[in-house]
Chain A
Amino acid sequence: MAPDSLDSVRPVRSARSVPDARPRPGLLNGLSHAALAVWALLIVAPLLWTFLASFKSNTEIFGDALQLPGELRLDAWGRAWGKAHVGRYLLNTAVVVAFSTFGTMLFGSMAAYVLARYRFPGSRVIYYYFTAGMAFPVFLALGPLFFVVKRVGLLYTHTGVVLVYIAYSLPFTIFFLAAFFRTLPESVAEAARIDGASHTRTFFQIMLPMARPGLVSITIFNVLGQWNQYLLPLVLLARDERDWVITQGIANISTLAGYEADWPGLFAAVCMAILPVLVVYVIFQRQIQSGLGAGALK
């Protein structure tokens, strides 16, 4: 993939030697567009191919890859939804992510708020205690984490996964939101306090609404991260297939497709995993891009 685009860099670079103010725009524009179009094609082609393959028969899939399906077969979608439990996996994921993102945002913003805006002994230490979590690779914790979750009796449960997701999302969420809460003006909180609002009330009714842009960004960041999580459910939900989340399910269907020779079913399942994400992405793409970008630049 890389060589394509590198090749197209070269003509642009040679334009440096052209003394004129405007290098021939026709040729350059053409090459720019070609490079962009090639990359767009590289992204769309595998997705489109998968979508088409879900309507093909096994023979067609193993035949010429560039051929359209002979007829519109919908049975693979039915099999993926029913027999392969993609519907159940999607539902499990939605439930887990709803609770874990809500919990992450609630506890993350609470901790970030007091760490950013209250002075008390140990506040710096606690702040660094939380943010230090960002420096550790999750693989270091993997073995012991399994036994910790087992010991508290939450292994192979969605509750366990939700709590673990929240715990591992806290460092970045607190880091990001604390920086955000620090930028909010003191005067509003002061006024609320003079009016007799309690600390808790000031937080939920005044500070949280003011922090909305930051909350939206980091919520999107957490929803995507937790929806796409693969490693943790693989470890924590290994036992019962009915509890699996979508990433686990798809990976497993992919392995099984080899034995059961149901390739259209696999591709229909992949499409079902992609479509909800695609719809959400098309609607919220602006917020998603700025949310993830803000996360990285902080």
Chain B
Amino acid sequence: MERWRTYGFVAGFLAVPIVLYTVFVISPYVQAFQISLTDWNGIAARPGYVGLDNFRRLLGDEVFWRALRNHGILLLVLPIATIVIALFFAFLLNLGGGARGPGMAGVRGSAFYRVVFFFPQVLAVAVVGVLFKAVYRPDESGVINGALVRLGADPVGWLIEPDLALWSIIAVMVWQAVGFYVVLFSAGMAAIPKDYFEAAALDGAGRARLFFSITLPLLRDTVQVGWVYLGIAAFDGFALIQVLAGDKGEPDGATTVLPIEIWKNAFSYSKVGYASAMGVALFFLTVTFAVLTLRTTRRERIDL
């Protein structure tokens, strides 16, 4: 009797979450795989089965390869730039003051910097995009170009030069992400016992030595977590690129990424089948990245 009451309770608590999750999350995912094998346009009652045609077309689609190239650049630059800058600041904010008082201290004003650095993280990406549209405006009314013109330089077309646009967008991503990773790495640094630093400092290690010989090796796990997170972010970029570069990834598709193409194909061109095939490709790319990263890192426990 007691047992059945327990089962009843368990079922009662699980029913709503399972239904919501199955209907709105799992079923669309499963359908996406099915639809990727059809030519469905979102209207036809009976979508035509086309086998792997969508994927074959994908391989010949220039836009798809351009999106992949952009993901590749993002995947290389976004984690490296963010982690290097964040590690540097986290070190200054936590240990840069040297041995002061009872333990290691950050440089003066650390608390203030931490608050300021983290703030972009809580802003919506779409709002950040609108903000940087003004920063990057191509004439002297843009914030950066206004400063450049004052210094006597020519204004730069940050978002309209095809070779520059993606880099301008990556800079915004780094701008927004650094504060979060400063906090993340700070937490990791706080967990390092103070005596390590004191002993090293007594032996005459300078700050750079402290960083490369003690902090960095002991922070490995945290940095790896950050790497995976930033890598997954490199497969997104939708909100920022959509706001800064428009639906087509202007200029001329130079900044497009798969999420933009998926959205455009599904809702502007009504090519739901083709969009789903792109989604499937994106899924396998993300999973491959996550598995590869976690494989090459020797963590005992893998939480994913």
Chain B hits for A285, CB < 8 A: 115, 118
The one of A25, A63, A166, A289 that contacts B118, using a Cβ cutoff of 8 Å: A289
Determine whether the beta carbon of A133 is less than 8 Å from that of B13.
no
Determine whether the beta carbon of A113 is less than 8 Å from that of B13.
yes
Choose the segment among A75-83, A145-153, A209-217 that binds chain B (4+ C-beta atoms closer than 8 Å).
Answer: A145-153
With A43-B119, A133-B25 as given contacts, are A50 and B17 in contact (CB-CB < 8 Å)?
no
Determine whether the beta carbon of A120 is less than 8 Å from that of B10.
yes
A136 to B262, CA, bound (A): 15
Q: Of B129, B206, B229, B259, which is in contact with the most chain A CB atoms at under 10 Å from its CB?
A: B206
The one of A50, A230, A238 that contacts B239, using a Cβ cutoff of 8 Å: A230
Determine whether the beta carbon of B26 is less than 8 Å from that of A133.
yes
Chain B hits for A5, CB < 8 A: 84-85, 88-89
Q: Determine whether B117 belongs to the interface, using a CB cutoff of 8 Å to chain A.
A: yes
Q: Determine whether B127 belongs to the interface, using a CB cutoff of 8 Å to chain A.
A: yes
Q: Determine whether A69 belongs to the interface, using a CB cutoff of 8 Å to chain B.
A: no
Chain A hits for B202, CB < 8 A: 21
A125-152 CB contact bits vs B (8 Å, 1 = yes)?
0100110011111011111111111001
* 8 A Cβ contacts from A80-94 to B: none
Chain A hits for B304, CB < 8 A: 134-135
Q: Determine whether A18 belongs to the interface, using a CB cutoff of 8 Å to chain B.
A: yes
Determine whether the beta carbon of A28 is less than 8 Å from that of B207.
yes
* 8 A Cβ contacts from A1-43 to B: 1-2, 5-6, 8-9, 12-16, 18-23, 25, 28-29, 32-33, 35-36, 39-40, 42-43
Please give the number of chain B residues whose Cβ is less than 8 angstroms from any Cβ of chain A in the complex: 114
Q: Of B21, B125, B262, which is in contact with the most chain A CB atoms at under 10 Å from its CB?
A: B21
Determine whether the beta carbon of B32 is less than 8 Å from that of A130.
no
B301 to chain A, nearest CB (A): 11
Determine whether the beta carbon of A118 is less than 8 Å from that of B10.
yes
Q: Determine whether B164 belongs to the interface, using a CB cutoff of 8 Å to chain A.
A: no
Determine whether the beta carbon of A137 is less than 8 Å from that of B20.
no
Q: Determine whether B27 belongs to the interface, using a CB cutoff of 8 Å to chain A.
A: yes
The one of A21, A139, A144, A280 that contacts B31, using a Cβ cutoff of 8 Å: A144
The one of B17, B113, B243, B286 that contacts A36, using a Cβ cutoff of 8 Å: B113
Q: Determine whether A247 belongs to the interface, using a CB cutoff of 8 Å to chain B.
A: yes
Closest to A288 in B: B122
Please give the number of chain A residues whose Cβ is less than 8 angstroms from any Cβ of chain B in the complex: 116
A86 to chain B, nearest CB (A): 12
Q: Determine whether B1 belongs to the interface, using a CB cutoff of 8 Å to chain A.
A: no
Q: Determine whether B131 belongs to the interface, using a CB cutoff of 8 Å to chain A.
A: yes
B278 to chain A, nearest CB (A): 8
B32 to chain A, nearest CB (A): 5
With A168-B24, A297-B225 as given contacts, are A1 and B88 in contact (CB-CB < 8 Å)?
no
The one of B18, B178, B180, B263 that contacts A39, using a Cβ cutoff of 8 Å: B178
Determine whether the beta carbon of B134 is less than 8 Å from that of A277.
no
Chain B hits for A8, CB < 8 A: 88
Determine whether the beta carbon of A274 is less than 8 Å from that of B134.
no
Query: Using a CB–CB distance below 8 Å, which chain B residues touch chain A?
Result: 5-7, 9-10, 12-14, 16-18, 20-21, 23-29, 31-32, 35, 42, 81, 84-85, 88-89, 92-93, 96, 98, 107-109, 113-127, 129-135, 139-143, 145-147, 150, 171, 174-175, 178-180, 183-184, 187, 201-202, 204-209, 211-212, 222, 225-226, 229, 235-236, 238-239, 242-243, 258-259, 262-263, 266-267, 272, 275-276, 279-280, 282-283, 286-287, 290, 303-304
**20 A-B residue pairs with CB within 8 Å:** A2-B174, A22-B206, A23-B206, A39-B89, A39-B117, A45-B143, A108-B17, A110-B14, A120-B6, A140-B282, A148-B23, A163-B24, A167-B25, A227-B124, A235-B263, A251-B242, A273-B127, A274-B127, A281-B119, A281-B122
20 further A-B contacts with Cβ under 8 Å, apart from A20-B204, A36-B107, A142-B266, are A15-B206, A15-B207, A22-B206, A36-B89, A49-B134, A118-B10, A136-B283, A137-B282, A140-B29, A140-B280, A141-B279, A143-B266, A144-B32, A148-B28, A148-B31, A234-B263, A251-B129, A281-B119, A289-B118, A297-B222
Shortest beta-carbon contacts, A-B, top 5? A65-B146, A167-B24, A141-B28, A140-B279, A228-B124
